[in-house]
Amino acid sequence: MPKRKTEKKRLNVLQKKPEKLIDKDDMRLDGRKLNELRPVKIEVGVLGNADGSAYIEQGKNKILAAVYGPKEVHPRHLAQPDRAVLRCRYHMAPFSVDERKSPAPSRREVELSKVIREALEPSIFVEYYPRTSIDIFIEVLQADGGTRCAGITTASLALADAGIPMRDLVAACAAGKVDGHLVLDLMDVEDKAGEADVPLALMPNLNAVTLLQMDGSLTIEEFEKAVNLALDGCKQLYALQKEALKSKYVAVKEAVDE
Ligand code: ADP
């Protein structure tokens, strides 16, 4: 399968690409092992005016997610009689990458908004809120590869923070192939100069996959290994998501007790 990156962007990256992305001791450029996640910091309830919100730092990625709803749908004709309509906007800030990005939604952002919505929808009891909408906004403030997955992980927490009934949280992580090695949680240079990446989203408690994509090429055996690696990454992120949710309520309880 051909890589979908534009030729110009790929050439730029390949010109800047270091000779080796993985050294002889199987260490990556940022000092990670092959199966290691980037450092993750998550905070829930960071925005006062949204119904729910969360913020993640995963390596150099910095992403904010906000949720409004369930609320009346505008325009009204979009309302569904039997369920809430889920809407999602994934957006990269102009300053989120090294060369200014146009603030207008690109084709990539439109596509990612759709796949992120589809990855989150199975986790929500949309049938509880007929004729309403739930709006999800994902703002990428700084991008360094894997932003769709980090966006899903964060938006799922923002939905939980908004008090929306959910079957499970959704955690997402990519695995892929770089310099012939299967690796977890690709950063930008690995994503662009590597051979393949496989973003995956999981509802860990239900063991249900809600997003599976592949960019690049892998053998069937490599694909299976990459999926297992990504599943493991999702489970690690799930533990961090639960911790972040709990710490918000511990902080609220302490404030009330004082
Ligand atoms: P994901 O962020 O989910 O991995 P892509 O594979 O499409 O999605 O993008 C990989 C990375 O490429 C992004 O995380 C970001 O760091 C970088 N990128 C995306 N769009 C641009 C752009 N317009 N200019 C520069 N870098 C970009």
- Quick: pLDDT tens for 43-87: 999 999 999 999 999 999 999 999 999 999 999 999 999 999 999
Q: Which residue has the tokens 């892998």?
A: 218
CA angle, corner 187, sides to 196 and 225, nearest 5? 40
- Mean pLDDT of all residues in 154-158: 98
**Mean pLDDT to the nearest integer, 197-214:** 98
> Residue type at 239?
A
Q: How far apart are the CA of 117 and the centre of ligand 1, in A? A: 18
What pTM, to 2 d.p., does this model score?
0.94
- Average of pLDDT values for 125-152? 98
Residue-wise pLDDT for 186-200, tens only, equals 999 999 999 999 999
**Is the CB of 145 inside a 6 Å radius of any atom of ligand 1?**
yes
pLDDT score at 254: 81
- pLDDT-derived band at 251 (thresholds 50, 70, 90) equals confident
Residues in CB range of 25: below 8 A, 6 or more apart: none
Q: Is the pLDDT of residue 18 over 80?
A: no
Peptide bond into 70 cis (omega under 30): yes
- Residue 250 pLDDT class (50, 70, 90 cuts): confident
Q: Percentage of residues in the chain with pLDDT exceeding 90?
A: 88
> What's the whole-number mean pLDDT along residues 85-93?
98
Phi and psi for 93 in degrees, rounded to 5?
A: -65, 150
State the average pLDDT for the chain. 93
Residue whose CA lies nearest to ligand 1 atom number 1: 146
Tell me which amino acid residue 173 is: C
170 vs 154: CA distance, rounded Å:
9
pLDDT of residue 9: 56
Task: Among 110, 186, 191, say which to mutate for ligand 1: greatest number of ligand atoms within 8 Å of CB.
Answer: 191
CB of residue 101 inside a 6 A radius of ligand 1: yes
| Structural domains present in the chain | 39-257 (3.30.230.70)
Per the model's pLDDT, the better-predicted residue between 17 and 129 turns out to be 129
249: pLDDT strictly greater than 90: no
Lowest mean pLDDT among 20-24, 58-62, 112-116, 157-161: 20-24
pLDDT at 13: 59
Q: CA angle at residue 212 from 227 to 89, to 5 degrees?
A: 135
User: How confident is the model at residue 1, as a pLDDT?
Assistant: 43
Q: What angle do CA 148, 26, 40 make, to 5 degrees?
A: 35
Comparing CA positions, the residue from 209, 245, 234 lying closest to residue 122 is: 209
Ligand 1 pocket member 97 (CB < 6 A) = yes
Q: Tell me what pLDDT residue 246 has.
A: 94
Measured in Å, residue 62 CA sits from the centre of ligand 1 at 13
* 3-state secondary structure (DSSP) of residue 42: strand
> Phi and psi (nearest 5°) for 85?
-95, 130
